């Protein structure tokens, strides 16, 4: 504790100390103009920044900018402008220099500057946000879902302190598609306590598409898409890398990750990258007690090798991820009386001393991904890309069992998935270009014998194939439209035994289609409007059709319905981004509405006493649902160093069939943060400090007399974040501190399935330190 108090004292006093320093010897100036690539007209209100230094400015009405007080060296300059995707350029600054930067949806390399990263606009009309490498680093030690929860409109569905799943606009689970390195992530994501099995640090950028996106990505994209984007491999032989260490107070553990990458001497275009990470935590702690049996062990590694030139590109990628975690012991109840007492008392029935041991109930998961991709430029503007992915997901779930059998898994599932995609990116003319593609999935799930328990879900095989067309229509320099269609067929073959031990093999066939229509309108340099209307679909998962029994990880009995049909949604979004008062105020507001036919969800259906204890019962049911809401971010620059940011998320969900509110919708929430940035302070640079206040309101819009307890009350949390960099040898050292729930507030969240049994985590402090070297990092 003394160590963390010292760290907090350091960061709280750092801005005061830094402001008294001067960056002696760093007096160079980089100036220039930002222009449109097509007609070379100046772009006003473009944001020009040096992310590594935390420095930035906004262009004037003539597109001009000026960055002062720079040190000599190689700098990566980033340019953002409404209506264009960001670009990054590496620039050598040895003396005062004036440059010209050009923005366009399909930017080509400029001779005098090295292109670091190009990201064409793949989501015309779709509201989307991204976490870049710096934002991900600030969330070191967190899970993927916890990282994404900093984005307005994204929440988490929790099962205690160790398991979290992302929720986008009120939808989660199989309604959120995750692309891991461009491949659909398939890892038993149907369970509310089945967190995504991937290492977020295997990527350096995560994009969240907050709209119906089935046309491009296929089924399961009703709520949105999470894209962990592949890291661009080096093209030159120089070795670079980084190593990061993480210490975490709540859980009394930590972790780290490291990467190394480079090219091959004499073979420009051939690059490689290896990466690994891990976390080790003991029991989490609420303000008043230990949350017993909530330890975590995680490990991951990935390797990639690739080649690219002006015509060919090919990449091979492999990743491995393993996780062992404990399930809150207090969530498993012995009888109906104890269950009611646990819910009503507000205190867990089981609390033990802190330990790193993980006992039953617990989960063991291991996930493998192999990806091969090749692309060929048929012409200067047309390209074909082939992608194959193989995944193997091995999951065991252990329950508390009699007769010394707790070491035998109660659920033992092995899931294999093959995916294949072929996409032709074509250029028909100046005003029409896009892509056409086909995709296929073959999946097989096996219950490994030996559990001694009737399987929760049966064995099955799933095959699906689809074809899509997605076209972009640049109407004018200010307006671009997008339209697309997709058709997909799915066949599900199930093998299961009835309660009379009779083998049955039901088959389900689903045929679905989707369309999308969107537009991106740059009204003026400081105002951009996106809109999209599209349909999406999702065949029911086998768990929704055939679950029958205790799902110990969720501490609930779940029952399926074999008569369920595909969900179909129609969603519309409007996204408005604007700069006001010369760029001093930035706003981003998204409005959305989503109508879903045959919406499937788990509905509480009483309690049941079994030989393994008493558990709440949930039944899969279908209804017609209507969801709507708002996401908003407002950031005002108060002074040269201080900014104020507000993030607000509202979502409403109605069960149209029952004429009531939908169950398990996120509560309204708002975060206000005071941000401080100091570009240079002696040897330190890119100093960032923020203090945040988050308030989550009581969920008052719930079905009457349906849940097992009333929604938790409103709660308010305070947080602190700070980081700074400096040169160390030939590399960069960066340190950071993040504190959540600083006041050790006792609270429970409506979106936590284990809120019936225990409070959420108390004060959580994370300290991280990273050293990077080489120009590629």
Give residue-wise pLDDT tens across range 595-628.
999 999 988 888 887 776 777 888 999 999 999 9
What does the domain layout of the chain look like in residue ranges? 5-117, 205-773
pLDDT tens digit sequence for 364-413: 999 999 999 999 999 878 999 999 999 999 999 998 888 888 899 999 99
- Asked if pLDDT for residue 337 goes beyond 80, the answer is no
pLDDT average, residue stretch 768-775: 91
pLDDT average, residue stretch 180-204: 86
- Reported as a pLDDT band with limits 50, 70 and 90, residue 629 is very high
- Asked if pLDDT for residue 353 goes beyond 60, the answer is yes
Q: Quote the DSSP letter at residue 233.
A: P
* Cβ atoms within 10 Å of 581's Cβ, excluding its own: 10
CB contact set of 163 (below 8 Å; sequence gap of 6+) = 193, 194, 195, 325, 553
What pLDDT shows up at residue 776?
Answer: 56
Q: Which residues of 91-121 are buried (b: 16+ CB within 10 A; e: fewer)?
A: bebeeeeebebbbebebeeeeebbeebeeeb
82/578 Cα distance (integer angstroms): 8
CATH code that applies to domain 205-773: 2.40.170.20
- Asked if pLDDT for residue 198 goes beyond 50, the answer is yes
- Asked if pLDDT for residue 213 goes beyond 90, the answer is no
**Number of C-alpha atoms within 13 angstroms, CB side, residue 467?**
0
294/325 Cα distance (integer angstroms): 7
- Reported as a pLDDT band with limits 50, 70 and 90, residue 116 is very low
- Asked if pLDDT for residue 9 goes beyond 50, the answer is no
Backbone angles phi, psi at 137, to 5 degrees: -65, -35
- Asked if pLDDT for residue 112 goes beyond 50, the answer is no
Are the CB atoms for 530 and 574 separated by under 8 Å?
yes
pLDDT tens digit sequence for 274-331: 999 999 999 999 999 999 999 999 999 999 999 988 788 999 999 999 999 999 999 8
Q: What are the residues facing 5 on neighbouring strands?
A: none
- Asked if pLDDT for residue 111 goes beyond 50, the answer is no
pTM for the full model?
Answer: 0.83
466/475 Cα distance (integer angstroms): 29
Q: What are the residues facing 480 on neighbouring strands?
A: 474, 520
pLDDT tens digit sequence for 701-755: 999 988 878 899 999 999 999 999 999 998 999 999 999 999 999 999 999 988 9
**Strands of the 154-158 sheet, one edge to the other:** 154-158, 164-168, 171-172
527/44 Cα distance (integer angstroms): 11
The rounded Cα 216 to chain-centroid distance in angstroms is: 19
Between strands 459-474 and 479-497, the pairing is: antiparallel
- Reported as a pLDDT band with limits 50, 70 and 90, residue 12 is very low
- Asked if pLDDT for residue 497 goes beyond 70, the answer is yes
DSSP states of 574-631:
EEEEEEETTTTEEEEEEEEEEEEEEEEEEEEEEEEEETTEEEEEEEEEEEEEEEEEEE
pLDDT tens digit sequence for 528-539: 999 999 999 999
Least confident span in 519-528, 564-573, 639-648: 519-528
What pLDDT shows up at residue 105?
Answer: 40
Q: Locate the DSSP E strands across 641-755.
A: 642-655, 660-661, 669-681, 684-696, 715-728, 731-740
Task: Give the torsion sign (CA, 542, 543, 546, 552).
Answer: positive
Q: Locate the DSSP E strands across 656-699.
A: 660-661, 669-681, 684-696
Q: Quote the DSSP letter at residue 719.
A: E
pLDDT tens digit sequence for 152-161: 889 998 888 8
Are the CB atoms for 288 and 746 separated by under 8 Å?
yes
Q: What are the residues facing 423 on neighbouring strands?
A: 385, 437
Least confident span in 47-56, 244-253, 592-601, 763-772: 47-56
Helix (H) or strand (E) segment spanning residue 514: strand 507-524
What pLDDT shows up at residue 5?
Answer: 46
pLDDT average, residue stretch 761-766: 96
Averaged confidence pLDDT in the chain: 88
Are the CB atoms for 152 and 224 separated by under 8 Å?
no
pLDDT cut 70: percent of the chain above it = 91
Between strands 224-228 and 206-209, the pairing is: antiparallel
161/348 Cα distance (integer angstroms): 14
Distances (CA, A) of 693 to 18, 198, 598, 600: 25, 30, 38, 35
- Asked if pLDDT for residue 193 goes beyond 80, the answer is no
- Asked if pLDDT for residue 502 goes beyond 80, the answer is yes
Could you tell me which of 532, 474, 574 has the C-alpha nearest to residue 216? 532
Are the CB atoms for 479 and 521 separated by under 8 Å?
yes
Name the superfamily (CATH) of residues 5-117: Immunoglobulins (2.60.40.10)
Could you tell me which of 86, 81, 74, 80 has the C-alpha nearest to residue 30? 74
Q: Quote the DSSP letter at residue 205.
A: -
What is the SS3 assignment for 327?
coil
What pLDDT shows up at residue 38?
Answer: 63
What pLDDT shows up at residue 360?
Answer: 92
CB contact set of 350 (below 8 Å; sequence gap of 6+) = 292, 329, 330
Are the CB atoms for 665 and 628 separated by under 8 Å?
no
Between strands 312-326 and 296-308, the pairing is: antiparallel
> Do the domains spanning 5-117 and 205-773 agree at the CATH topology level?
no
What pLDDT shows up at residue 574?
Answer: 95
- Reported as a pLDDT band with limits 50, 70 and 90, residue 90 is confident
Distances (CA, A) of 774 to 203, 548, 572, 733: 18, 54, 45, 12
Q: What are the residues facing 627 on neighbouring strands?
A: 594, 653
168/171 Cα distance (integer angstroms): 5
Least confident span in 66-80, 319-333, 375-389, 430-444: 66-80
Q: What are the residues facing 435 on neighbouring strands?
A: 425, 470
- Reported as a pLDDT band with limits 50, 70 and 90, residue 554 is low
């Amino acid at each position: 504790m003394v160590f963390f108090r010292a760290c907090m004292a350091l960061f709280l006093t750092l801005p005061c100390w830094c402001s008294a320093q001067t960056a002696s010897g760093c007096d160079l100036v980089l100036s220039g103009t930002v222009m449109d690539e097509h007609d070379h007209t100046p772009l006003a209100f473009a944001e020009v920044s040096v992310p590594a230094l935390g420095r930035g400015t906004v262009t004037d009405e003539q597109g001009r900018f000026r960055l002062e007080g720079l040190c000599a060296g190689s700098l990566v300059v980033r340019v953002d402008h409404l209506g264009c995707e960001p670009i990054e350029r590496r620039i050598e600054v040895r003396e005062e220099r004036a440059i010209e930067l050009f923005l366009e949806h399909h930017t080509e390399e400029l001779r005098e500057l090295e292109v670091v990263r190009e990201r064409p606009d793949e989501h015309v009309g779709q509201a989307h946000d991204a976490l870049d490498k710096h934002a991900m680093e600030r969330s070191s030690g967190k899970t993927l879902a916890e990282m994404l929860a900093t984005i307005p409109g994204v929440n988490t569905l929790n099962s205690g302190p160790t398991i979290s799943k992302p929720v986008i606009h009120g939808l989660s689970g199989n309604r959120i598609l995750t692309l891991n390195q461009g491949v659909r992530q398939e890892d038993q994501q149907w369970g509310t306590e089945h967190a995504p099995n991937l290492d977020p640090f295997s990527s350096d950028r995560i994009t969240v598409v907050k709209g119906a996106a089935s046309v491009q990505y296929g089924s399961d994209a009703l709520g949105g898409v999470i894209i962990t984007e592949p890291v661009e491999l080096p093209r030159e032989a120089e070795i670079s890398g980084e190593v990061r260490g993480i210490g975490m107070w709540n859980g009394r553990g930590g972790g780290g990750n490291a990467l190394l990458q480079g090219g091959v001497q004499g073979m420009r275009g051939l690059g490689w990258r290896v990466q690994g990470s891990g976390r080790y935590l003991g029991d989490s702690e609420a303000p008043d007690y230990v949350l017993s049996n909530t330890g975590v062990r995680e490990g991951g590694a990935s390797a990639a090798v690739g080649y690219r030139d002006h015509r060919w590109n090919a990449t091979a990628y492999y990743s491995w991820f393993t996780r062992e975690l404990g399930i809150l012991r207090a969530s498993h109840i012995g009888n109906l009386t104890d269950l009611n007492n646990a819910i009503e008392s507000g205190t867990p029935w089981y609390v033990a001393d802190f330990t790193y041991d993980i006992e039953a109930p617990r989960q063991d998961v291991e996930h493998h991904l192999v990806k091969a991709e090749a692309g060929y430029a048929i012409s200067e503007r047309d390209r074909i890309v082939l992608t194959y992915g193989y995944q193997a997901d091995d999951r065991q779930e252990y329950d508390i069992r009699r007769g010394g059998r707790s070491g035998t898994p109660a659920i033992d599932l092995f899931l294999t998935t093959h995916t294949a995609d072929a996409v032709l990116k074509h250029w028909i003319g100046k005003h029409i270009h896009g892509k056409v593609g086909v995709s296929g999935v073959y999946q097989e799930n096996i219950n490994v014998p030996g559990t001694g328990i009737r399987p929760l879900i049966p064995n099955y095989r799933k095959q699906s194939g689809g074809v899509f067309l997605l076209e972009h229509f640049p109407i004018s320099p200010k307006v671009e439209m997008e339209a697309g269609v997709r058709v997909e067929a799915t066949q599900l073959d199930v093998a299961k035994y009835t309660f009379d031990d009779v083998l049955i093999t039901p088959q389900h066939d689903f045929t679905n289609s989707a369309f999308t229509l969107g537009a991106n309108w740059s009204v003026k340099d400081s105002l951009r409007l996106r809109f999209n209307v599209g349909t999406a679909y999702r065949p029911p998962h086998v768990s929704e059709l055939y679950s029958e029994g205790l799902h110990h990880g969720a501490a609930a009995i779940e029952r399926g319905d074999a008569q369920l049909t595909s969900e179909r949604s129609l969603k519309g979004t409007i996204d408005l981004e604007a700069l006001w008062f010369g760029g001093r105020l930035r706003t981003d507001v998204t409005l959305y509405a989503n109508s879903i036919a045959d919406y499937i969800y788990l509905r509480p259906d009483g309690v049941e006493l079994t030989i393994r204890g008493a558990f709440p019962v949930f039944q899969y049911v279908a209804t017609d649902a209507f969801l709507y809401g708002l996401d908003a971010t407002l950031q005002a620059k108060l002074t040269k160093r201080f900014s104020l940011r507000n993030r607000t998320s509202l979502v409403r969900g109605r069960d149209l069939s029952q004429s009531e509110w939908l169950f398990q919708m996120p509560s309204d929430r708002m975060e206000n943060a005071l941000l401080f940035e100091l570009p240079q302070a002696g040897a330190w640079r890119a100093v960032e400090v923020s203090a945040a206040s988050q308030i989550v309101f009581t969920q008052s819009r719930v079905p009457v007399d349906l849940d097992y307890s009333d929604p938790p009350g409103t709660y308010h949390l305070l947080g602190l974040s700070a980081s700074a960099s400096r040169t160390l040898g030939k590399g960069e050292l960066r340190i950071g501190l993040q504190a959540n729930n600083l006041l050790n507030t006792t609270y429970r969240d409506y979106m936590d399935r284990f809120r019936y049994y225990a409070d959420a985590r108390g004060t959580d402090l994370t300290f991280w330190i990273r050293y990077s070297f080489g120009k590629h990092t």
